[in-house]
Structure 1
């Protein structure tokens, strides 16, 4: 499955030093999908040297040449859609329809940033010096490193690499070792852009042999991470030694507020498939459900009815609506969170156990808990799984205060028919992204990211390219 690819260094596929590999396991069958290369320290060092040479060759390309290259990559990604989406579902277990949507969003990133490459503007400022002027220039920062998580193995790579290439940076991609194949397919598509050797590099492996040398290298001027808050905090500390630019999208624990004037059917029809997409392993998915006391019982009843109707199974089956958790460890963590909540007084509305109909795989039932209190772990921390924790509220002031009582602030949602209430919610919720009667926040043209412990910087939109550019001021006098 991985043999025709490998590590990608200096414009070619190659094995890791000593042919070292690690086994990738299927979350559906728990059997081996194949052996992916496991980079040694020397491999990462070669990738760093390659990226340095690639930057020197790529940064001098015109904006129009970079745009053409990104469009060519997007064209190749369209041609290889079936291969890529099957790889996403095989490695993550997510339903094939969700994999197709992810690949489409990834293509959008390259299309969007192909055009943003042509819109990197400087400006001229009047100088106080006679005969002089200030020129403000935007230049690529240098080598950029992309660290991505397994849950969106294509989209997360695209969000980082597309703006980096558009800006004129070379890149080193270090994907999750649980989903290396998706990154391999995407990098292979990038060959269609006819990029100079070393512009894109891919290393896969252990922290000591990949992350450590990348973070220690003064040649790497920008790092981007999608991962946990704990890992992000460590990366910030490590980046300080060489004063790298950092941008990161970290953990979430999104509140969903269903006000008393909400369209109940709309709230239910949108929130159930959103909550259980990718088995709840989505950083922006709603975790904390605040439902007005006048709608609470009806909401729980409707939520349970829809959750029980979801079909679990192998994501490669087009009829499946929810796949497995990524690993045994994640499965055990979800069980512990639910057991803790039930032990503290939460009521099981549906689910709350391993899916009994499967003899293998990390399948957990779509779960909804009611009578949840704010101090329960299931409410106070991101559960990153198929658990909807539902609580009541009685007033707007109360629910906004409770929704904001979290150290993280990635996304937040509300359902209401009142424009005035919607504006107040957007203004007062402490989150980088807010959805009103909608969960559709991820788009290539829109900035994606959080506040507080959910990270810094933005991916997507015109804002996304800024982290890959340095600003230079020139005073010119004649």
Structure 2
């Protein structure tokens, strides 16, 4: 087990680890057993303002550094993450709850974002454009945005950090990072590795503590030129409203309500395994996991049976147990939301075919048993709201046009999934689904080299791929007049 102290100076400002000005701390709790892991500094407005000042001062030198030099630091940070892989995964599991094997995969993903953007740092190309006037030359010069406020979620406390700060640093921006209050330890460990990698003082700053105060300080300070955020649509809308004061750039990855469509020509065994893998990864606490499953009525019974065959092998428990498949939810509110969606569905006629209650194991954490319900309808909350827990609803459909309309009938548009062995159908349905990400016989689309992001109320901007770095770059147009 990873060893941690009882208290840690968790503010990293201008290259120095610090306590909060008030000396106040906040407990980080293991959601599997409700035990306090450690106390971290509880910072706020003053500490955030100092971090912004440090980032602004560091921006001049960092932005003028050659991309090759910046990429070397990212390469080194990538390697350091792999050197400390198991320790980082243990800490992640302790503070967030996900099984160690999933945590290990997430830490690898975090490292891979740094590798990708270490390479992309050298590929931010400008343009020399043909002019319509012979006495002019036209250039487009990419330049870093400036100071970035990065606000990251608790469900992926390592990979969501590097997915944001990797491209920001590669582009030449400096960063003030605010991790989720529930999971600051992964952020602390990653910042320590960047420090070891030789990142200059002030380029990356970390503030833990009062989420509202830190967020307000980032929003109200005109020197913060971009806010990048992953979280709920409700908070995303708030950030958009508050950012209007200084017309900040925004990159928002918000809520989802992913449909899974299982056609009659699907490989049902593959569809069942992957649907369960998507739904119960991180106990259902992912923005792109299967939220509502539409199954063609002709294969409903077969598909349901295959789900039941596979779900019975899933083990609920503490994440550091190597046999665990499903860990705890993050807090009591998360458990209550699953219960609320389940009770609403049953009250309106849904039938529980597996699970259906809190997990009664030897631990006293925030556990809920993996659950499947059928005979759900559009009127039920589970078919309209993101559950963010291990509850899988099944609804049947009759034809393609009907299910596409049902899948698109939502304000969300992050991810959707199709299971079909018919290529024509897969392409046709993919084109009609109003989602930023579509998986065809694939439920794990996130990867460093591809753009990740939604449409409608699921966000603006992209993370990942060469597209992701352009969120942190301004395109400066230069027009040169020639007079001889």
Q: TM-score, normalised by structure 1?
A: 0.98
Q: Per the alignment, do residues 279 and 208 of structure 1 end up closer, same or farther by CA in structure 2, a change over 3 Å counting?
A: closer
Q: Among residues 236, 247, 251, which one is paired with 2:251 in the alignment? A: 247
Runs of 4+ more than 6 Å apart: none
CA shift for structure 1 position 135: 1.0
The answer to whether 1:293 aligns with 2:272 is no
Residues 71-470 of structure 1: pairs in structure 2 closer than 5 A:
71-470=75-474
Which of 60, 76, 81 aligns to 2:64? It is: 60
Map Cα deviations across residues 142-180 of structure 1 (whole Å, 9 max, x no partner): 001111110000010011000000000000110000000
Which residue of structure 2 aligns with residue 6 of structure 1? 10
Residues in 1 aligned to 2:101 and 2:278: alpha-carbon distance in whole angstroms: 13
User: Can you give the 5+ residue segments of structure 1 that lack an aligned partner in the other structure?
Assistant: none
> 1:425-469: per-residue Cα shift (whole Å, max 9, x none)?
110011000001111211000000100010010000010001100
Q: Provide the aligned C-alpha RMSD in A.
A: 1.1
- Secondary structure, counterpart of 1:73 in structure 2: helix
Specify whether residues 208 and 93 from structure 1 end up closer, same or farther in structure 2 by C-alpha distance, changes over 3 A only. Answer: closer
Deviation, 1:359, is: 4.3
Greater shift, 232-241 or 307-316, is seen at 307-316
Alpha carbons 2:30, 2:36 under 8 Å: kept: yes
Contact kept? 2:9, 2:41, Cα under 8 Å: no
Give the Å deviation of 1:402.
0.6
Q: Residue in 1 aligned with 2:37?
A: 33
* Consecutive unaligned residues in structure 2, runs of 5 or more: none
Range that drifts further, 16-25 or 153-162: 16-25
Most deviating of 177-186 and 19-28: 19-28
CA–CA distance in structure 2, aligned partners of residues 193 and 120 of structure 1: 23
| Structure 2: distance between partners of 1:289 and 1:104 | 29
> How far did residue 20 of structure 1 move?
1.1
Aligned match of 1:69: 73
8 Å CA contact 2:177–2:207 kept in 1: the answer is yes
Secondary structure of 2:34's match?
Answer: coil
SS at match of 2:395: strand
Q: Secondary structure at the match of 2:227?
A: strand
SS in 1 for 2:189: helix
Q: How much has 1:72 moved relative to structure 2?
A: 0.8
Give the secondary-structure state (helix, strand or coil) at the position aligned to 1:171. strand
